[in-house]
Amino acid sequence: MPNRVSALSELAEQLRSAEFDLSQRWDNVDKWFEVWAERPGLRASLRHHLLELPDEQAAAVIRRSRETTTHFAWCLRDVADEPFTFWLHEYKEQRDWRVGYADSVHNHRYHFCTTILRGGYLHERYAATINPGTELVRSAELVTATPCPVGASAFLLASDFHRIPRAADGTMTFLVKSREVTPWSLSYDPDTHESQRHVPVESRLEKLASRL
């Protein structure tokens, strides 16, 4: 069985050695990712990787990670000169979810591939209409609703809108994300028809002093 470190290193090396811009050919990344995600013992490999992290690297993972209203997003790898990052998403119990993140209709600032390691969720894809004046979502129509069990893989582009309305308790996923391809993401509430723009806090630093 391949150990977890070699599994992550193998995927990283394949992505690093690509002879094209990953963000422009994310469908190719998905083909590689699907093959990689089907390897036997992937979950055990990731578990071993976490258990064997040196203290300094474990502290770096903690610094890079964050909590959302629906899950904990653990950043396993983020090397400045690499055009990708690796993440584990640990979903909270459904009773602890708060409205406004995975359960909203939303897109992302990056492309990503994901595979379910444990549990499962309902994955909905939407066709969104953008208001050209406000650049916010005007409407969103459900296209597909797919139950995704352990082993299911998928990829989304930054322009794709989706939602995870519910997940089994204990659900965990592994993701490879591209670097940002847009400056913000959007979310939409089908009940209130309200849309919001989400700008990463780090991009606001240069404007911070002017707002004091």
Mean pLDDT, range 127-134, rounded to an integer? 96
Question: Taking 70 as the threshold, does the pLDDT of residue 2 lie above it?
Answer: no
Whether 175 contacts 86, CB under 8 Å = yes
- Across the chain, mean pLDDT equals 92
Q: How far is CA 199 from CA 19, 27, 202, 204, in A?
A: 31, 26, 9, 8
In 122-193, alpha helices (H): none
Whether 175 contacts 89, CB under 8 Å = yes
Tell me the pTM. Answer: 0.91
- List, in order, residues 6 or more apart from 176 with CB less than 8 Å away: 11, 15, 29, 33, 84, 85, 86, 87, 112, 113
The pLDDT score that the predictor gives to residue 207 is 80
pLDDT confidence tier of residue 3, bands split at 50, 70 and 90: very low
Burial-class residue 14 by CB neighbours within 10 Å (0-12, 13-18, 19+).
middle
Question: Taking 80 as the threshold, does the pLDDT of residue 199 lie above it?
Answer: yes
Structure tokens at 167: 């997940």
Tens digit of each residue's pLDDT (9 = 90 or more) over 86-104: 999 999 999 998 876 778 8
Mean pLDDT, range 98-116, rounded to an integer? 90
Angle between helices 42-51 and 4-16 in degrees, nearest 10: 100
Tens digit of each residue's pLDDT (9 = 90 or more) over 31-73: 999 999 999 999 999 999 999 999 999 999 999 999 998 999 9
Mean pLDDT, range 153-182, rounded to an integer? 97
Report percent pLDDT > 70 for the chain.
97
